[in-house]
Structure 1
C-alpha cells in the first residue's frame, strides 16, 4: 500500500490543490448561504467539506474505485495540508477585507461630517 509512495510526488501536489480549491470554493458558497450561522462559519464549513472529500477519495482508493495502490496516510496528510493552507488564505483574505471595508466606512463617515 505505502511502497513507492514518496512524500515529494505529483500525486501529493494534486491532493494539496484538490483540497485547497474545494475548501476555497465551498467556503465562498457558504458565505452566500441563507442562514447567518453558516455564513459566520464559512471557513469551518469549507474546511470540513474539503476534509470529507479527501477522506472519501482515500476510502474510494482503498475499495479500488480508482486505479491506485490503495489508501495512503501520506495522501491524507497532503489533504490536511491543503485544507489548512486554504483556511489560512481565507482568514487572511477576510481580515484584510474587513479592515478595508471598515476603513472605507470611516472615510465615508468623515466625509459626511464635513
Structure 2
C-alpha cells in the first residue's frame, strides 16, 4: 500500500478543541479517530471532525509542517481552518469516498 503523507487538523466543534496530526493513510487514521483509538487526547476531548488537511510529497515535509503548525498560536490555526473551510464542515465523508484505508 502506497503511503500518502498528510497533515490534518481535527476539531471537537467549531472553535473547539483542536488536534493536529500527520499520517501516511488519512482514511485509516480517520477511522481510528472515529473509533476513539486515534489518540488519547482526541478521544478524551471528543476531537473527531476533520476540518483541514493537506497532502505532501514527502514524509519529511509533512512531519516538519505538522510540528510547525503545532507550534502556532491558536488564532493562526483557526485562521488556517477558516481560510479553507469557513463553515467548519467535517470532511470525513469526503475523505472516506476516495482515501484508501487498508
Q: TM-score, normalised by structure 2?
A: 0.30
Rg bigger for which structure?
A: 1
Please identify which structure carries the higher helix content. Answer: 1
Please identify which structure carries the higher strand content. Answer: 2
Q: TM-score, normalised by structure 1?
A: 0.27
